[in-house]
Amino acid sequence: MGILTKRRLVRAGAALAGLLLGGTVAATVWAQQLVADLSSHLIAITTGFTGTEVVLFGTTDGAGDVAIVVTGPRGPATVRRKQRVAGMWMNTDSLRFDQVPGFYTVAVSRPLDQLVGRPLLERHQLGLPQLQLPADATLPPDELAAYRSALIRNKQRQGLYAISMGQVAFLGERLFRTNIYFPANVPTGLYNVEALLIRDGDVVSAQTTPLVVSKIGFSAEVSDFARNRPVVYGVAAVIGAIAAGWAAGAAFRRV
Amino acid sequence: MQVYLPIAEMSVNALLVLGMGWLVGFLSGMFGVGGGFLMTPLLIFIGVPPAIAVGTQANQLVAASVSGVLAHWRRGNVDVKLGVVMLGGGVIGTAVGVWIFGILQRLGQIDIAITLSYVFFLGTIGGLMLVESSRAILRRRAPTARRGKLHRHIWLHGLPFKMRFQRSKLYISALLPAGIGAVGGMLVAIMGIGGGFLLVPAMIYLLNMPAGLVAGTSLFQIIFTTAAATMLQAATNQTVDAMLALLLLIGGVIGAQFGTKAGSRLRGETARLALAMIVVAVALKLAWDLFSRPDDLYTLTMGLR
Tell me the per-residue pLDDT of B271-299, one tens digit each, with 9 for 90 and over. Answer: 778 888 888 988 898 888 888 888 888 98
Cβ–Cβ contacts within 10 Å for residue A79, how many? 25
The chain-wide mean pLDDT, for chain B, equals 81
**Based on the structure, what is the number of domains in chain B?**
1
- Does the pLDDT of residue A8 top 60, yes or no? no
pLDDT above 70 as % of chain A? 87
Indicate which CATH number applies to the domain containing A61.
Answer: 2.60.40.10
Confidence bin at A23 (pLDDT 50/70/90): very low
Q: Which pairing describes strands A42-45 and A202-215: parallel, antiparallel, or unpaired?
A: parallel
Q: Which pairing describes strands A104-108 and A166-167: parallel, antiparallel, or unpaired?
A: parallel
Residue of A170 and B253 predicted with greater confidence: A170
Q: Quote the CA–CA distance of A41 and A37 in Å, as a whole number.
A: 9
Q: Are residues A84 and A103 in the same domain?
A: yes
A92 in B contact zone (CB under 8 Å): no
Q: Which residue in chain A is spatially nearest to B236 when comparing CA positions?
A: A230
Encoded amino acid at A104, one letter: Y
Q: Are residues A17 and A84 in the same domain?
A: no
* Cβ–Cβ gap B294/A89 under 8 Å: yes
Residue B77 lies in a domain: yes
Span B60-70, pLDDT tens digits = 888 878 877 88
Handedness of CA B264, B267, B270, B273 (dihedral sign): positive
Confidence bin at A254 (pLDDT 50/70/90): low
- What are the residues whose beta carbons fall under 8 Å from the beta carbon of B162, sequence distance 6 or more? B171, B172, B173, B174
Residue B299 lies in a domain: no
Q: E strand or H helix at A211, and its extent? A: strand A202-215
Residue B33 lies in a domain: yes
A12 in B contact zone (CB under 8 Å): no
Encoded amino acid at A116, one letter: V
Residue A69 lies in a domain: yes
- Nearest in space to A187 (alpha carbons), one of A73, A76, A79: A73
- Give B149-178 as a DSSP string: PS----GGGG-SSEEEETTTTEEEETHHHH
Handedness of CA A198, A203, A209, A211 (dihedral sign): positive
Q: Quote the CA–CA distance of A28 and A15 in Å, as a whole number.
A: 6
Residue B305 lies in a domain: no
Q: Are residues A19 and A43 in the same domain?
A: no
A152 in B contact zone (CB under 8 Å): no
Q: Are residues A5 and A62 in the same domain?
A: no
Which positions 39-78 of A are in contact with B (Cβ < 8 Å)? 45-51, 75-78
Residue A243 lies in a domain: no
- Nearest in space to B60 (alpha carbons), one of B260, B241, B263: B241
Q: Are residues A128 and A11 in the same domain?
A: no
Beta bridge partners of B26: none
Enclosing domain of residue B187: 2-142+151-291
The pLDDT, as a whole number, for residue A106 is 94
Q: Which residue in chain A is spatially nearest to B302 when comparing CA positions?
A: A77
Q: What is the mean pLDDT of residues A189-215?
A: 92
Q: Are residues A49 and A27 in the same domain?
A: no
Q: Are residues A48 and A130 in the same domain?
A: yes
Q: Which residue in chain A is spatially nearest to B48 when comparing CA positions?
A: A185
Residue B303 lies in a domain: no
A78 Cα to chain B: minimum distance (Å): 5
Residue B289 and residue B115 in contact, taking contact as beta carbons nearer than 8 Å = yes
DSSP code of A160?
Answer: S
- What are the residues whose beta carbons fall under 8 Å from the beta carbon of B138, sequence distance 6 or more? none
* Cβ–Cβ gap B305/A245 under 8 Å: no
Q: Are residues A2 and A12 in the same domain?
A: yes
Of the listed ranges A121-130, A182-191, B92-101, the one predicted with least confidence:
B92-101
Q: Are residues A190 and A160 in the same domain?
A: yes
Enclosing domain of residue A223: 32-237
Q: Are residues A16 and A76 in the same domain?
A: no
Query: What's the whole-model pTM score?
Result: 0.74
Confidence bin at B154 (pLDDT 50/70/90): low
Residue of B149 and B137 predicted with greater confidence: B137
Beta strand extents in chain B (DSSP E only): 2-5, 10-13, 162-165, 170-173, 298-302
Residue A112 and residue A68 in contact, taking contact as beta carbons nearer than 8 Å = no
Distances (CA, A) of B119 to B108, B160, B191, B279, B286: 19, 33, 11, 10, 6
Q: Are residues A97 and A4 in the same domain?
A: no
The chain-wide mean pLDDT, for chain A, equals 84
**Based on the structure, what is the number of domains in chain A?**
2
Residue B229 lies in a domain: yes
Q: Quote the CA–CA distance of A166 and A163 in Å, as a whole number.
A: 9
Contacts of A185 in chain B (CB under 8 A): 9-11
Span A50-59, pLDDT tens digits = 899 999 999 9
Q: What is the ipTM of this complex?
A: 0.78
Choosing among A45, A46, A47, which should be mutated to test the B contact, i.e. which has the most B CBs within 10 A?
A47
Q: Quote the CA–CA distance of B250 and B259 in Å, as a whole number.
A: 14
The pLDDT, as a whole number, for residue A109 is 92
Residue B279 lies in a domain: yes
Residue B214 lies in a domain: yes
Q: Are residues A160 and A143 in the same domain?
A: yes
Residue A251 lies in a domain: no
Confidence bin at A42 (pLDDT 50/70/90): very high
Of the listed ranges A183-192, B142-151, B187-196, B246-255, the one predicted with least confidence:
B142-151
Beta bridge partners of A170: A176
Q: What does the longest C-alpha to C-alpha distance in chain B come to?
A: 65
- Does the pLDDT of residue A15 top 50, yes or no? no
Residue A247 lies in a domain: no
